[in-house]
Structure 1
């Protein structure tokens, strides 16, 4: 288990389909150094869906087959809201199996941390316990 910070330190996103963005970490979970990820917004459908593509070749245009699609969906569930986060497309990227495996492992751990932090934050704001 990693004990370094996993949250993004800076984010700049043009929140519209085709909009560019950049996520910056000053410390990265896997190697302790900084990292920057360029993203391109895919879909924006308030208040239920937001998606972006990342992990594409520098200078390339992200598309199905050369990038990972991250989707955030919100749905009413009882008296609450369910957030679902998925990443698609890793299997189509032309990386080695070792690179794909490392990416997947980092992201499984990272999303678990981020979503846990988000649930705790939302619970504090609502004055409720995390379920």
Structure 2
């Protein structure tokens, strides 16, 4: 049986778009809602800014807080706060998008960390980690497809 460490998730793709375009796609709510959540909101994509990711008809609303915003190379945020309330004194998951120019496009490297630090029992840790692996396996390709549609639109 394969043993997983449940420490981090990493995904990488290449898209034929500039880092400036990709940065907007991973940091702006009007784009996030096209490839990831059903809706998103945030006033500004600056460190400390608080936003929401929404799935369904507000069936699931997840707050997030921007940690780093360094256009056009880095965007990160914390989410999955216990009880759905942002609290800097407790652990949360950190999602980081690193954008690197590559040829005529951009290499997108997504990393999500902090699973072990959440203090979950083993079964919950495995369940949440597996759910996020499945999620990123779905949404990272959708991110690439959305970027391709965006840059090919007239």
Task: Output aligned runs, 1:1-131, within 5 Å.
Answer: 7-14=36-43, 15-26=45-56, 34-58=59-83, 59-62=85-88, 66-127=91-152
Greater helix fraction, Structure 1 or Structure 2: 2
Structure showing greater relative contact order (alpha-carbon pairs closer than 8 Å, 6 or more residues apart)? 2
1:49-73 Cα offsets, whole Å, 9 max, x none, are: 110001122345136x611110011
TM-score by length of 1: 0.78
Q: What's the C-alpha RMSD, in Å, of the aligned pairs? A: 2.1
TM-score by length of 2: 0.67
1:95-128 Cα offsets, whole Å, 9 max, x none, are: 111111111111111111111112122233445x
Query: Structure 1: which 5+ runs fail to align?
Result: 1-5, 28-32
Residues 101 and 75 (structure 1), Cα distance of their counterparts in 2 relative to 1, 3 Å cut: same
Which aligned runs of 4 or more in structure 1 are off by greater than 6 angstroms? none
Residues 60 and 25 (structure 1), Cα distance of their counterparts in 2 relative to 1, 3 Å cut: closer
Q: How many residues are paired up?
A: 116
